[in-house]
């Protein structure tokens, strides 16, 4: 009987050079979608799925991301003095969502290596991985949709989405047989293939439910695409040994890992928020 997913790993290392100049001083995971940093959305999605134990993997120099989840005494005092209960609740919400453990990836060796840093934290449980660049708005949290498939079929599950051909060389691509209702049995995974070699247009989006066997496969795997230790390769190494499924999730996804993507995420979020309705109308943008 597959276990319930209780723990999540959020890899948030990386220098964020695509966002220069802002990332010269501000870590990418703290870049905002309106007034919430990217990392908040990842933690909130886990919490909404009932996952409250979270390990965040950071590179040295990104301590401000860890600070975001630590109590802010002076701000708390100031809000109390002013009697600003609404903002005090916002501040408390950051800390009440989850218990966050901060781990360090000392060298930028790839996503697989970042996840391996969480091995002791995870132990031998099936766990979630949430990439904070990938924002997903959905009724049922995307990671919960994957956990449901893992509960039903056992093994590991990756989130999937059909993508245009120009996106294929930047993503993990899935070779799979459809089982119906958005679930596919995975036959192969290939990280960042040239378009001509891609087995399909079904790409991995940054949500995973993985068995703990992935850690040994990361450890013993060779470097892959871009010379990095790829999570995709370690997941693919389990094919034939344990079940692996892809879930075409229900929801709207935006890759906020580029300036244009982050801008799109801001517009998307603004169209949903009542407090942005006026400016959305002024700009001639339609509400959601
Ligand atoms: C990572 C994964 C890739 C996946 C993508 C989704 O790539 O390696 O398989 O498709 O996330 O965002 P990265 O964005 O780190 O290059």
Q: Would you place residue 223 in the very low, low, confident or very high pLDDT band (cuts 50, 70, 90)?
A: confident
What is the mean pLDDT of the segment spanning 163-191? Answer: 96
Is the peptide bond prior to 21 cis by the omega test (within 30 degrees of 0)? yes
Q: Which residue has the tokens 């909404």?
A: 48
With cut-offs at 50, 70 and 90, classify the pLDDT of residue 175: very high
Q: What is the mean pLDDT of residues 219-244?
A: 93
Nearest-atom number in ligand 1 for the CA of 14 is: 15
The percent of residues above 90 in pLDDT, for the chain, comes to 85
Burial of 186 (0-12, 13-18, 19+ CB in 10 A): buried
pLDDT at 1 over 80: no
Weakest-pLDDT range from 75-84, 149-158, 219-228: 219-228
Q: Count of CB atoms within 10 A of residue 265's CB?
A: 23
Q: Answer yes or no: is pLDDT of 158 > 60.
A: yes
Distance 9 CA to ligand 1 centre (A): 15
Pocket lined around ligand 1, Cβ cut-off 6 Å: 111, 131, 133-134, 171-172, 191, 203-206, 230-232, 255
Residue-wise pLDDT tens digits, 29-64: 999 999 999 999 999 999 999 999 999 999 988 889
Alpha carbons 287 and 277: distance in angstroms, whole number: 7
Ligand 1 centroid – CA 211 distance (Å): 19
Between CA 210 and CA 8 the distance in angstroms is 10
Residue 232 has pLDDT above 80, yes or no: yes
* Token pair 């498939």: residue: 149
Give the Å distance between the CA of 171 and the centre of ligand 1.
5
CA-based nearest residue to 68, from 51, 46, 44: 44
Query: What's the confidence (pLDDT) of residue 241?
Result: 95
Q: Where are the domains of the chain?
A: 7-283
Q: Is the pLDDT of residue 242 over 80?
A: yes
Mean pLDDT of 164-173: 96
DSSP state of 274: G
Alpha-carbon distance of 207 to 275, in angstroms, equals: 30
Contacts of 45 (CB under 8 A, 6+ apart): 130, 136, 141, 142, 143
Neighbours of 219 (CB within 10 A): 13
The residues pairing with 102 across neighbouring beta strands, listed in sequence order, are: 56
Minimal-distance CA residue to ligand 1 atom 13: 171
Contact 62, 27 (CB under 8 A): yes
Residue nearest to atom 14 of ligand 1 (CA): 171
Q: What would the pLDDT profile of 87-140 be if each residue is shown by its tens digit?
A: 999 999 998 899 999 999 988 899 999 999 999 999 999 999 999 999 999 999
Angle at 44 between CA 93 and CA 62, to 5 degrees: 85
Q: How far is the CA of 255 from the centre of ligand 1 (A)?
A: 10
pLDDT at 15: 85
How much of the chain exceeds pLDDT 70, in percent? 98
What is the position in ligand 1's atom list of the atom closest to the CA of 189? 9
Tokens of 149: 């498939």
Pocket test for ligand 1, best of 28, 171, 224 (most atoms within 8 A of CB): 171
pLDDT value of position 3: 66
Look up the CATH number of domain 7-283.
3.90.550.10
Task: Note whether 184 and 153 are within 8 A (CB).
Answer: no
pLDDT band of residue 221 (cuts 50, 70, 90) is: confident
Helix (H) or strand (E) holding 79: helix 73-82
């Amino acid at each position: 009987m597959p276990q319930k997913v209780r723990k999540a790993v959020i890899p948030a290392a990386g220098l964020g050079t695509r966002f220069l100049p802002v990332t010269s001083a501000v870590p990418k995971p703290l870049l905002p979608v309106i007034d919430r940093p990217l990392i908040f959305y990842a933690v909130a999605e886990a919490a909404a799925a009932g996952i409250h134990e979270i390990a965040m993997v950071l590179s040295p120099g990104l301590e401000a991301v860890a600070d975001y989840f630590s109590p802010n005494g002076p701000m708390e005092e100031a809000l109390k003095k002013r009697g600003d209960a609404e903002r005090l609740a916002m501040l408390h919400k950051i800390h009440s969502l989850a218990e966050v453990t901060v781990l360090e990836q000392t060298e930028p060796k790839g996503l697989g290596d970042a996840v391996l840093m969480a091995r002791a934290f995870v132990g031998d449980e099936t766990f979630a991985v949430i990439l904070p660049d990938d924002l997903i708005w959905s009724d049922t949290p995307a990671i919960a949709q994957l956990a449901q498939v893992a509960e039903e079929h056992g093994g590991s599950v990756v989130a999937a989405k059909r993508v245009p051909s120009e996106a294929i060389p930047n993503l993990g691509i899935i070779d799979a047989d459809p089982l119906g209702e958005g679930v596919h049995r995975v036959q192969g995974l290939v990280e960042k293939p040239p378009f001509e070699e891609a087995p399909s247009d079904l790409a991995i989006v940054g949500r995973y439910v993985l068995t703990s066997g992935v850690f040994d496969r990361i450890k013993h795997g060779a470097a892959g695409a871009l010379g990095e230790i790829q999570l995709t390769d370690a997941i693919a190494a389990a094919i034939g040994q344990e079940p692996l499924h892809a879930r075409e999730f229900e929801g709207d996804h935006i890759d906020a890992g580029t300036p244009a993507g982050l801008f799109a995420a801001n517009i998307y979020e603004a169209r949903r928020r009542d407090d942005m309705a006026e400016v959305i109308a002024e700009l001639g943008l339609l509400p959601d």
